[in-house]
Amino acid sequence: MPELPETETIARDLDAALRGAVIDAVTVVRGDVLREATAAAFVRVVRGSRITSVNRRAKSIVVALQSHFLVVTPRFTGALLLTEPADDRYTCLHLALADGRTLRYHDIRRLGTVALHDAARHAAWDSALGPEPLDLALDADAFWHALRSSRQAIKTLLMDQRKLAGVGNIYANEALWRAGIRPTRAGKSLRRLEVGGLLDALRAVLTESIALRGTTFRDFQDAYGVRGGFAAKLAVYGRGGQHCHRCCTPLRATHRLAGRQTVWCATCQR
């Protein structure tokens, strides 16, 4: 479930730890996590290359090499680990660094992916994604325009990576509760003022979660195997049937909206 705050946590740690590191040896243990490259091509490109930076885009960690990019999308159980995992059976990729450290891509359920991009492919991938919510270049007017053409539910739109990058189920639920907006409202029904409030709420919850190194609901761990601290701060996600922190009404929960867990307060979300 790593969304924006969780992948941001991983990327910041890895950037500090890996900038300038050289990858000496590559072992592909579970080749089915690879995308856009065969195991042989992956080894050929990655072996001997230097890591120039590590960043985040949407819910992916982007490891920049000299000429290529590794785009790691952990999905539910994927992790980029600098420490020895508790169970090495789930190591999919093993990168030995010249300084003696090891970077592993570890994934129990293997729905996560590691793609290899050259510069042109990476630019195309990047341009297909929507704006970053924490980028101040995205203003409420632009966001309002992006939403007002759609009949889809606002919660579905928040999670549409072409419209906005990095927001998944947890933070979509949380931002809508904070903004007092019902998840099922059609995008085009939102007024300009409501969209401004929603963007403010979204930025606040993402920023607070990053400060606590993300939400570990079940599986998320950072590069050192440590859990995030934001789960205790969640107002609605995973709290169906419990009381709303604002008005004490029992929170409603459904899976009907795009098949995902949606939790909201029918009293204070309109």
Say if CB 15 and CB 54 are below 8 A apart.
yes
Spatial separation of the C-alpha atoms in residues 166 and 134, rounded to whole Å:
10
- Residue 155 appears among annotated catalytic residues: no
Beta carbon nearer to DNA, 32 or 208: 32
Task: Examine residue 32 and tell whether it contacts DNA (CB under 7 A).
Answer: yes
CB of 260 to DNA, least distance (A): 5
- Residue 59 appears among annotated catalytic residues: yes
CB of 8 to DNA, least distance (A): 14
Spatial separation of the C-alpha atoms in residues 198 and 179, rounded to whole Å:
5
Residue 253 burial by Cβ neighbours in a 10 Å radius (0-12, 13-18, 19+): middle
Q: Which of 18, 58, 64, 72 binds DNA (CB under 7 A)?
A: 58
- Residue 188 appears among annotated catalytic residues: no
Task: Examine residue 161 and tell whether it contacts DNA (CB under 7 A).
Answer: yes
The site map against DNA for 195-214 (x = CB under 7 A) is --------------------
Of 17-25, 70-78, 177-185, 246-254, the segment contacting DNA by CB under 7 A is 70-78
- Residue 3 appears among annotated catalytic residues: yes
Task: Examine residue 240 and tell whether it contacts DNA (CB under 7 A).
Answer: no
Task: Examine residue 189 and tell whether it contacts DNA (CB under 7 A).
Answer: no
Could you tell me which of 173, 121, 128, 164 has the C-alpha nearest to residue 144?
164
How would you classify the pairing of strands 113-118 and 34-35? parallel
Q: Which of 52, 53, 102, 261 binds DNA (CB under 7 A)?
A: 261
Say if CB 201 and CB 192 are below 8 A apart.
no
Assigned token pair, 192: 């300009």
Radius of gyration of the chain (CA): 20
- Choosing from 2, 5, 74, 183, which is the catalytic residue? 2
CB of 21 to DNA, least distance (A): 27
Secondary structure tally for the chain: helices H, strands E = 7, 11
Beta carbon nearer to DNA, 159 or 202: 159
Beta carbon nearer to DNA, 163 or 182: 163
Say if CB 269 and CB 183 are below 8 A apart.
yes
Spatial separation of the C-alpha atoms in residues 224 and 230, rounded to whole Å:
17
- Choosing from 12, 56, 59, 213, which is the catalytic residue? 59
Assigned token pair, 130: 């929507």
Q: Which of 28, 34, 37, 159 binds DNA (CB under 7 A)?
A: 159
**What strands lie across the sheet with 23-28, from one edge to the other?**
23-28, 91-97, 102-107, 78-81
Q: Which of 9, 49, 73, 269 binds DNA (CB under 7 A)?
A: 73
Task: Examine residue 1 and tell whether it contacts DNA (CB under 7 A).
Answer: yes
Q: Which of 50, 260, 267, 268 binds DNA (CB under 7 A)?
A: 260
What number of residues does the chain have? 270
Spatial separation of the C-alpha atoms in residues 34 and 46, rounded to whole Å:
13
Spatial separation of the C-alpha atoms in residues 119 and 59, rounded to whole Å:
19
Binding stretches for DNA (CB under 7 A): 1, 32, 58-59, 73, 75-76, 108-111, 150-152, 159, 161, 168-170, 255, 258, 260-261
Catalytic residues: 2-3, 59, 260
